Amino acid sequence: MGRECCSLVVLCLGAVASLSAMALVSIGVSTDHWTRTVVDRARVKTQGEENNTEYMFFTRNTGLFRICFPEKDRPLEGSPGLFLSIVDDWCYSREFYLNDISKGVFSPPGLSSHANTQLQLHRSSPILLFGYLFSMALVGLLGLCGCWQQSANKLITTAAFQLLAALVGASAMATWHAALFFEMEKVHDEGFPLSWPDWLQESTTVEISWSYIVTWVGVCLTLLASLATSAAAICLRSRRRTWEDDALRMKLKVSRMFAQHAYFPDDIRSSHSPSIHDRDYPDYPTIPANFPTHNKMLSARGPGSELFLTERNKEYKKVLNQLEDSRF
């Protein structure tokens, strides 16, 4: 009973962790709070740039796909590329150069080597995260089949795929970090922080926001789910081994019971051995108390005795066949 509770509880914990991980990563991917860039607007006004509508002069939140402006100071409505998101924030879409990709050009012309590296890393992060979500969806179906069939092998496979998904998610986070590093420290192309005026760089602060933290928590929960699923599979396999041992002991007990009786009751009348009335058949303790011994059975020969013996014989054979054909 303890092992059954162990496998069930641990498996439930793994399932909850897996579903929570998918939910958290989905929230992180769909929100725009990976970094928060705070700009000192007083310094901007001091420099006479308060009417400049470029995005780098405003406090903003940056996600995987959008740059949004949560405060009242933002680019003017109607600026090229500015749109209202579903959460009522005015945003710009981040540039992925999708038109160039559709033409088979993965490295747009005019970018430096560092800018091109930053672009490829920036593209890789959402692709890997979507791959993570797709893998976790397949893993969930596989794990559900493993639970229904109580298959330790399927649960081990599920744990392995969860571990692989966790590695994919961690790789996505690593590429995001690398893209941020190149953006802030390596790329001098126009529009990147190193090309801004010195006073603007000094007035700008970039910090990690909650979408990034939520995504990392989801990836860590995936690793925890993998460990929990592996532990549940080990508990289930141990319980299966106990079932096999119990079944083997039952088969041996039944075999020993029939070994003490050289023949079934129906075969007694067809035997050519000496008269069975001359033999003394002891009452073996393995025979149930309500089952008559050989002498009593044969001494009570009457119109219904043969039918009684036949039914008992069939019952014994049925039980034995079920035990021998059982699969664990």
Each residue's pLDDT tens digit in the chain (328 positions)? 444 445 678 888 888 999 999 999 999 999 999 999 999 999 998 988 888 888 999 999 999 999 999 888 888 888 888 998 888 789 999 989 888 888 888 888 888 999 999 999 999 999 999 999 999 998 888 777 766 666 778 888 888 999 999 999 999 999 999 999 999 999 999 889 999 999 999 999 999 999 999 999 999 999 999 998 888 888 777 666 555 545 555 655 556 555 555 444 444 444 444 444 444 544 444 444 444 444 444 444 455 445 545 655 666 666 666 655 554 4
Q: How many Cα neighbours within 13 Å face the side chain of 213?
A: 6
Question: Which two structure tokens, joined as six digits, stand for 164?
Answer: 């692989």
How many residues in the chain? 328
Question: Which two structure tokens, joined as six digits, stand for 16?
Answer: 């909850």
φ/ψ of 119, rounded to 5, equals -65, -45
Question: Are 60 and 53 contacting, i.e. CB atoms less than 8 angstroms apart?
Answer: no
Domain range summary for the chain, segments of one domain joined by +: 2-242, 262-325
The CATH number of domain 2-242, selected from 2.30.42.10, 3.40.50.2000, 1.20.140.150, 1.20.81.30: 1.20.140.150
d(CA 200, CA 220): 37
d(CA 101, CA 112): 18
Question: Which two structure tokens, joined as six digits, stand for 127?
Answer: 């692709």
d(CA 169, CA 28): 12
Pairing verdict, β 90-93 and 83-84: antiparallel
Enter the pTM of the model.
Answer: 0.70
Q: Which of 229, 158, 224 is nearest to 9 (CA)?
A: 229
- 116: Cβ contacts below 8 Å, ≥ 6 apart: 107, 108
Question: Are 144 and 12 contacting, i.e. CB atoms less than 8 angstroms apart?
Answer: no
Question: Are 28 and 176 contacting, i.e. CB atoms less than 8 angstroms apart?
Answer: no
Query: Which strands, in side-by-side order, build the sheet including 60-62?
Result: 83-84, 90-93, 66-69, 60-62, 35-39, 204-208
Helix (H, G, I), strand (E, B) or coil at 105: coil
